[in-house]
Structure 1
């Protein structure tokens, strides 16, 4: 697993993800300071999520023409140029009209992520052996969680200490390093054919923007995985700040600091779960559907217990325990998807799935927020636990239909 191309992918994506957190923190700080409006500030994540969703729809058009490694280099290089323009914009701020330019640049940066995310996840099976795939996914997931755990706190401190402009220029430097790392993912010219199967010719009718959706529709296992994703996505909407914060204040009877404790507890649990995945990935890879069922079952139980308790310390414990279970479920699901999807179709499937995930999250956040207002926050956490119980049934069904030979085949390396 630890060869040049995978290490470059891991290091470059970790730097890029850390930069993503830092620039969002800086944008939020700058926009709030300039406008004094909470609404304008809250609009930042909405713009970013919307741009990523639209980008997921366009990514297949580029997968037809470019290799995945070239997509990563191009998207990261464009993000670097756009963020440099945003840093210049912040340095020369005058009035409030420039804020719309900042929103536009932020949307274009996020748009590039809609290309990079499916390209990264589709590249992983090409860089590691089949039996190492779960360990590789676990490492990437743990790195992502660690970046988000430390990045938001560190980003806020750095903006307060150095100022938003300095943080943005520092992030540009991190993006430059990430771009250079992405160049290391590209195979040598002699081995360039290793990625030939990842690029669908424009003349092939299956290589259009509907390829991913058609593949999901036509492959029963992918349909089951996507259905599981949708149910888990709806259930996961209860962890947004708009629901969790009122739950802490009203049900647990604690101050806002407990909202931070519970979030930190979950993220720490996720990091521990990812570490366990790295250690035991070899065993777990042979029984992926079983571990998927175990992860979803544990997530359902912890969510129900979290929504049932009035005790803050118990809620913190259940939030912490949720992290490893959910991490196991997500990594198992991702690994199954990568192993059981044809290489040429995988980028298209991942881009379609990413668009669907973003759409489900946005709509379910609105629905869960409305239900929390109507029924109370405790009720939506119990509803989330019941939805995850339905997801357990879907995961169990997938396990029962799992082919006996799955997991025994090995996937060759192409580096």
Structure 2
């Protein structure tokens, strides 16, 4: 494909902070509330499982698997649906399902009927909202902003997500420890309901009707596009190994932090919240980094920070430390957020609009679908070899993803490439 670059005028326009329309602003705010709801509930779930249901490291790994399995099972069907129908409607319905799941957990908590299997099932249903955002929002953004605004718009969306990732885990941990799990799920349900209200008022631009073909034909078309592109292939592989490593670590982190690092619920929430703080810092620094570095160099920063973070966490095996664990999660946020902004912008720039949701869905299935695989790997390794081995296995996966992107042609891009002829 031709690696033609945007002109300097496009970069200067994006860096100047362009104004966005009401539709995009509603999407960004709904994303903030939905991601905040997700993070509060994701922080509360393993804490409730450990402290109220006496869950083991293996149980937490299975819980993480259930909460991430929708990415593997639903991303592609929802992506094909989003290319055929309203993306706003898909996100609204899926987010409303999250509200219902959170309210169900809340009711079970107050009636003392909550069990680990029920928590897994409701976590699976709640994650549907995140899957819908993952495939539909990146496909909707190019219809709401001008092409030269894509990088800035993605940065705005990721900044909102970063705020959620920084505040959500800490808030979830504090609510569980101070006033109980019920309040954590109440707050999450309220935030999710706000997201539904904003999405319901979002005006989606009309798209030309396209002929509906067989599901597998449309899926193969999107998969063929990704597989044949010299830039998208290594980007996909890098993200897969990153998520395998991250969720191998996540599968055992809460019991590891409680039993090996000696942390309480609020301290665990703070360490997890450092991930979001890093994301906020990375998102705020993204415009400066984009101006200072070639586009390909910006893409490399995230995977290298992920590798550094995994090595810092391995160091806690020798020096158990709240500060080292906090630093590890900070690094997991500060660098990879640059990756998310850059990789999303790259996909949007080179993918035809008619298959944008399918390509996003394929990316979500392969990358976020790697999350339950990583969680299962963490559960299996911890069951047979202990929690320490999980940290080492996670570091190995992070090493692989860093090597893939460093040697790829994407790392040598000077700027955002234009769309190839298709």
Structure 2-normalised TM-score?
0.75
Bigger Rg, which one: 1
Q: Show the counterpart of 1:398.
A: 410
Deviates more, 1:119-128 or 1:201-210: 201-210
Counterparts of 2:102 and 2:250 in 1: how far apart (Å)? 27
Taking a change above 3 Å as real, the CA distance of residues 157 and 227 of structure 1, as seen in their structure-2 partners, is: closer
Answer yes or no: is the 8 Å Cα contact 1:231–1:387 preserved in 2. yes
Q: Show the counterpart of 1:119.
A: 136
Cα deviation, residue 83, structure 1? 3.6
Answer yes or no: is the 8 Å Cα contact 1:304–1:385 preserved in 2. no
Question: Is the counterpart of residue 77 in structure 1 residue 96 in structure 2?
Answer: yes
SS at match of 1:350: helix
Matches within 5 A, 1:222-237: 222-237=232-247
Cα deviation, residue 166, structure 1? 4.5
Taking a change above 3 Å as real, the CA distance of residues 85 and 289 of structure 1, as seen in their structure-2 partners, is: same
Q: Of 99, 118, 137, which residue of structure 1 is paired with 2:154?
A: 137
Q: Of 333, 345, 348, which residue of structure 1 is paired with 2:358?
A: 348
Q: Show the counterpart of 2:340.
A: 330
Q: Of 142, 151, 175, which residue of structure 1 is paired with 2:168?
A: 151
Taking a change above 3 Å as real, the CA distance of residues 207 and 262 of structure 1, as seen in their structure-2 partners, is: same
Answer yes or no: is the 8 Å Cα contact 2:244–2:371 preserved in 1. yes
Taking a change above 3 Å as real, the CA distance of residues 133 and 303 of structure 1, as seen in their structure-2 partners, is: same
Unaligned runs of at least 5 residues, structure 1:
410-415
SS at match of 2:212: coil
Q: Show the counterpart of 1:288.
A: 295
Counterparts of 1:105 and 1:245 in 2: how far apart (Å)? 21
Cα deviation, residue 56, structure 1? 1.4
Unaligned runs of at least 5 residues, structure 2:
1-18
Cα deviation, residue 271, structure 1? 2.0
Answer yes or no: is the 8 Å Cα contact 1:302–1:318 preserved in 2. yes
Cα deviation, residue 357, structure 1? 1.5
Taking a change above 3 Å as real, the CA distance of residues 50 and 321 of structure 1, as seen in their structure-2 partners, is: closer
Counterparts of 1:72 and 1:125 in 2: how far apart (Å)? 16
Q: Show the counterpart of 1:387.
A: 400
Taking a change above 3 Å as real, the CA distance of residues 175 and 237 of structure 1, as seen in their structure-2 partners, is: closer
Q: Show the counterpart of 1:44.
A: 63
Answer yes or no: is the 8 Å Cα contact 1:291–1:328 preserved in 2. yes
Counterparts of 1:373 and 1:405 in 2: how far apart (Å)? 45
Counterparts of 2:86 and 2:410 in 1: how far apart (Å)? 32
Counterparts of 2:203 and 2:32 in 1: how far apart (Å)? 17
Answer yes or no: is the 8 Å Cα contact 1:216–1:349 preserved in 2. yes
Alpha-carbon displacement from aligned partner over 1:99-153 (angstroms, at most 9, x marks no partner): 7555433322223432232101221222223332222222322322321222122
Alpha-carbon displacement from aligned partner over 1:163-196 (angstroms, at most 9, x marks no partner): 4444434433332221121123223xxxx42x33
Question: Is the counterpart of residue 8 in structure 1 residue 21 in structure 2?
Answer: no
Taking a change above 3 Å as real, the CA distance of residues 276 and 344 of structure 1, as seen in their structure-2 partners, is: same
